[in-house]
Chains A and B, each alone.
Chain A
Amino acid sequence: MNWARISSTSFDVTIWLYLGAMVLSFAYLAARRDLLWVLARVVTIAGASANLVSIVARGMAADRVPWGNMFEYSTVLAFLVVVGTLVFVEGVARIKTLTGFSLMFSVLTLAVAAMFFPVEPSPLQPALNSYWIKIHVVAAITGSSLFAIGGIATILFLLKDRSERRALAVGRERTPAPIMGGAVEVDAPHDLLPDPEGAGGASAPKRGGVLPSAAALDRVAYRVIAFAFPIWTFAVIAGAIWAQEAWGRYWGWDPKETWSFVTWTIFAGYLHARSTAGWKGRRAAIIAVVGFISLLITYYVVNLWIVGLHSYKNG
C-alpha cells in the first residue's frame, strides 16, 4: 500500500462517512433523540479523520504541500468546513442543527472534485512553487470554508426567518395584543427579538420547528463571516504578493483576481450593512448569500470555465 493508494482510499471512505453522518444529523433534526446526535458526531469525527488522512497521505505521495490543484483544494475545503462547523457552530455557538447542512456541502464538494478534476499526485509546476502561494492558498481555503459556513447559516436564517414571521403573523391574529404592546417588534434588530431556543438549541421550552431560532442563526452567520473576512483579506494580499513575484504585477484583473475582489467587496458590504447602514436581518442576509454565490463562482466557475493565469486545474 503506497501513499497515493492510502490517500484515494481514505478519500472514498471520507465521502461515505460524511454521507452517513449527514443522514444521522438530519435524523437528529427530525427526531431530536440525543442518541442520534451522539452517533452523528462520532461518524462526523471519523469522517473528518479519514479526510485528514487523505490530505496528509496526498502530501506524502506528491512530496509537497497537499494543496496544489483543484482536487486538493476541494479535499482541504471539505475538511475545514466540517471542522469549522464542529468548532465554531457546535462548539462556540452551541448550535447542533447546522452540522448536517455543512456535511452536505462537504459531500458535494468532494463529489464534484472526484467527478470533474481528479488528478494523480504530482509535483507542482514552477509558477506554483513559491512559499507565498502556499500561504495564499491556506488563507484562501480557510477563508472560503468559513464564508461557506456563514453562507449555509445565512440561507437557513432566511428560511427560518420566513417561517417565524409567518408564525408571528398567525399568532397576532389569534391572540389579542399583550398589555405591554406588541412585545415583539417585527422590524426590530434580531438581537432584540426573543430567542425561543436561546443560543443553546435543543434546551428551549418551546420548539419552533427543526432549526434553531432565526436570531441564533443570524448571530452565528455574522460571527463566522466577520472571522473569515480578515483571513480572506490576507489571502487576497498574499495572492497579490505572489502575483508580483511570479508575473511582475500585483494586480492584473485576471478573472480569479477579479472574483476574489468581488467576493471581498460583497462581504465588506455585508459587514457595513450589519454594523452601520442599519440593514439588519433579511437585507444584510441577502448580501451574504450573494457573497456566498460569488465565492462559489470564484472557486468553480473561474477555474473551470474562464481562462486566466490561474487556470491550473490540472496541476
Chain B
Amino acid sequence: MTTSAAPTLRQSVALVWRTLRSMRTALILLLILAAAAVIGSLLPQIPNSPERVGQYLDDHEFWGTFFFRAGFFDVYGSWWFVLITALLFVSLTACLFPRTRAMIRAVRQRPIHARELDGFRHHAEVRVGTGPDEAAVTAARYLRRKRFRVSREGLGVAAEKGVLREIGSLLFHWAFFLLLLGVIVGKGTGFTGRAVVTEGETFVDALPNYAGQIRTGRYFSGGFTGIGFQLLDFEDRYRPNGQAIDFVSRVRFLDRDGRPTDTEEIRVNHPAEAGGLRFFQEGFGWSPVVEVSLQEQRLWSTPIEMARDDAPEGVPATAMPWRGAIKLTAPEPDVMITLELWPDFRAFANFQLTGEPTSMLGQFDPYIRYSVYAGEITDPALSTIDTTGLRRIGGSDLHAAGTSTFDIPGAGELRLSFSELRQYSVFLVSRDVGIPLVLAAAILVLVGLIPSLYVSRRKVWIRAEAAPGGSLVKIGGFALQKKDAFEEEFDRIVRGIGGREAVEAQPEERVGTS
C-alpha cells in the first residue's frame, strides 16, 4: 500500500459518510424502500404462498425465471431489501449522532443573548413604570412562568421554548433501532410452527410433532420446551345463516413431565401463553376415529385428520366433503385406504339426489365412503393421498358406529369400524421474545412523533433601557415553526410584560412621538 492511497481511502469514506448523513439520501432511501415493498405485494411471495409462486413460474417462463433470480418472489428476505434497510439505518445513525450531540449541547447551554432586537421578525417596545433592572427581572420571571428557558444577564434576557420538538424527533428516530433489535432478536431466536391436534389427544412441543410445519429463526437454539397440552374439546359455532360466530379450543396445559397445569380457552383473537410459547387458534377440521383390522388383528385405531376439498366457485366451503388416508405397511402387499367423509349424511344424500351442495355446519349421521388400494406405498406420510404404484381393489361405505368388511384377495378380511367422529384443531405455536421490545419501540415512535411534529421552537429576547418615568423594554423574537401561531403568542408576551397599553406602544408609534 502506498502512502498516497490512505488519504484517498479516507476521503472516499468521508464522502460516503457525508452522503449518508444528508437528509436527501435518507429521503431517497425511504422512497426506494417503499418501491421495493410494492414489488412484494404485486408478485406472490414464497413465504406466504409458495403454490402461487409455482403457478407463476409455470405460467410465465421468461419473466418467472428472471424474477426468481432477482429475488422478487422473496422480496422481504432478499439481499437487496436487507441492503436498503441497512443503508437506511446507517444513514439514520449518521444523522442521529451529530443531532443528538447538538441537542445535548443545546439543552445544557443557556439561551444565547442577542444584541440587536430590531432585526427579528417580531419586535415591539413597551414602556413600564419601573426601573430597567426591575423591568428585566420581571420580564424574566414572566417568561419563566410561561415555561421558557430563561437566561438573564444584567438588563438583557434571552429565552427559548420548544426543545421538546427536537427531543421528540430524536426519540422517534432512535426508537427505530430498538424496533430493529426487537425484530432481529425475536425472529432470529424464535420459531413458528403448526400443531394439529384431535380432541382428546395431546400435543408436546418437540420438533417431530410439528410434522415439518415449522419455520425457525436463523439463531434458533433448537431448544423445545417439552411442555404440552391436551385438547379437551373444540367448538365451532355458527349463526343460522352459516356465518361463523366463534371457534373455541379448550385445552389443558401439561408441564414437561406431563402433569396438568391449567385449563384455558384458545379462541380466535384470544391466544394462550405457556412456557414462553404462544398458541393461536388457526383452523379446525374433522377427525374420524376408524379402527382397522385384518384377519382379526388390529392394525389401526388413531383418529385421522382429514382435509377438506377446495370448493368450486359459488359453492360454500362448508358443503365440501373431507378426505384422508390410512396407510398400512404391515400387510404384504401394502394397503392404503382412502376415505371420503361427509360429516352430515343429509348433505351427501341431497347431493346425490339433486346435485345441490348443502353446508355442513355440524355432524349428523356422519358418513364415510372408502376405497382400498394394494401395492407398494412410497410415501408413508398421512397428509398425502397419492395412489401411484397402487391398484384399487374396491371400496364400500359406512356410517358412524357402523362396521364394514372387505375381502382383500390373498390377505384376508379387512374390517373397518367407524367408532366416532371428532374434531381437530389447528394451532399456530410461536416463540418470539422480541415482542416486548417491538411494542416498546412502537410506543416510543409514537410518543416521539407527536412533539416532533406539533411543538414549535421559539426564541424571545428582551432588553430594558432607562427611560423617562421608568424604562423602555425592547422585545424581539421569532419562531422556527408555526409562525402564524407565534404572532399571537408574541403579542400576548408583549402585553404580559408591558401591561394593557403595551400593544399601542409599537415601534412605529415611538418613532412618531419621540
Interface residue total, chain B, C-beta cutoff 8 A: 49
Q: Which residue of B lies closest to A129 (CB)?
A: B269
Given A237-B442, A268-B30, are A248 and B271 also a contact pair (CB < 8 Å)? yes
B38 touches A233 (CB 8 A): no
**In the assembled complex, which residues on chain A have CB atoms less than 8 Å from the CB atom of B271?**
245, 248
A122 touches B31 (CB 8 A): no
**In the assembled complex, which residues on chain B have CB atoms less than 8 Å from the CB atom of A242?**
269
B428 touches A302 (CB 8 A): no
B33 at the interface (CB under 8 A from A): yes
B430 touches A265 (CB 8 A): no
**In the assembled complex, which residues on chain B have CB atoms less than 8 Å from the CB atom of A248?**
192, 271, 278, 280, 282, 428, 430
A245 touches B41 (CB 8 A): no
Q: Which residue of B lies closest to A122 (CB)?
A: B243
Contact partner of A253 (CB less than 8 A), chosen from B48, B282, B438, B453, is B48
A261 touches B269 (CB 8 A): no
A262 at the interface (CB under 8 A from B): yes
B38 touches A262 (CB 8 A): yes
Q: Which residue of B lies closest to A302 (CB)?
A: B41
B-side binding surface: helix, strand, loop or mixed?
helix
A246 to B241, CA, bound (A): 24
Give the shortest distance, in Å, between B475 (CB) and chain A (any CB).
23
Give the shortest distance, in Å, between A287 (CB) and chain B (any CB).
8
Contact partner of A244 (CB less than 8 A), chosen from B45, B47, B76, B435, is B435
B15 at the interface (CB under 8 A from A): no
Give the shortest distance, in Å, between A307 (CB) and chain B (any CB).
8
Contact residues, A146-199 vs B (CB, 8 A): 191, 199
Contact residues, A252-271 vs B (CB, 8 A): 252-255, 258-259, 261-262, 265-266, 268-269, 271
A37 at the interface (CB under 8 A from B): no
**In the assembled complex, which residues on chain B have CB atoms less than 8 Å from the CB atom of A240?**
442
Q: Which residue of B lies closest to A131 (CB)?
A: B269
B446 at the interface (CB under 8 A from A): yes
**In the assembled complex, which residues on chain B have CB atoms less than 8 Å from the CB atom of A123?**
239, 243, 245
- Digitize A215-241: 1 where CB-to-B-CB distance is under 8 Å, 0 elsewhere: 000000000001001100110010011
Give the shortest distance, in Å, between A123 (CB) and chain B (any CB).
7
Chain B interface: which of A50-58, A83-91, A272-280?
Answer: A272-280
Q: Which residue of A lies closest to B279 (CB)?
A: A248
A13 to B132, CA, bound (A): 68
Interface residue total, chain A, C-beta cutoff 8 A: 47
Contact partner of B247 (CB less than 8 A), chosen from A126, A250, A279, is A126
**In the assembled complex, which residues on chain B have CB atoms less than 8 Å from the CB atom of A272?**
23, 26-27, 30
B115 at the interface (CB under 8 A from A): no
**In the assembled complex, which residues on chain B have CB atoms less than 8 Å from the CB atom of A250?**
435, 438
- Digitize B331-342: 1 where CB-to-A-CB distance is under 8 Å, 0 elsewhere: 000000000000
Give the shortest distance, in Å, between A119 (CB) and chain B (any CB).
12
B246 touches A265 (CB 8 A): no
B450 at the interface (CB under 8 A from A): yes
**In the assembled complex, which residues on chain B have CB atoms less than 8 Å from the CB atom of A254?**
48
A125 at the interface (CB under 8 A from B): yes
B268 at the interface (CB under 8 A from A): yes
Given A240-B442, A248-B428, are A126 and B192 also a contact pair (CB < 8 Å)? no
B483 at the interface (CB under 8 A from A): yes
Given A230-B450, A245-B271, A249-B430, are A125 and B243 also a contact pair (CB < 8 Å)? yes
Give the shortest distance, in Å, between A147 (CB) and chain B (any CB).
14
Supply 21 A–B pairs (Cβ within 8 Å), ascending by A. A123-B239, A126-B244, A126-B247, A126-B267, A226-B453, A237-B446, A246-B269, A246-B280, A247-B428, A250-B435, A253-B45, A253-B47, A253-B48, A253-B76, A254-B48, A261-B37, A266-B31, A269-B31, A269-B34, A276-B23, A277-B23
A245-B269, A252-B48, A253-B41 known; 11 other A-B pairs, CB under 8 Å?
Answer: A199-B484, A230-B450, A233-B449, A247-B280, A249-B192, A253-B40, A253-B76, A255-B41, A265-B37, A269-B27, A277-B27
* Residues of chain B at the chain A interface (Cβ within 8 Å): 23-24, 26-27, 30-31, 33-34, 37-38, 40-42, 45, 47-48, 75-76, 192, 239, 241, 243-247, 267-271, 278, 280, 282, 428, 430, 432, 435, 438-439, 442, 445-446, 449-450, 453-454, 483-484
Query: Which 9 A-B pairs give the minimum distances between C-beta atoms?
Result: A248-B280, A265-B34, A130-B269, A258-B41, A276-B23, A126-B268, A248-B428, A255-B41, A237-B442
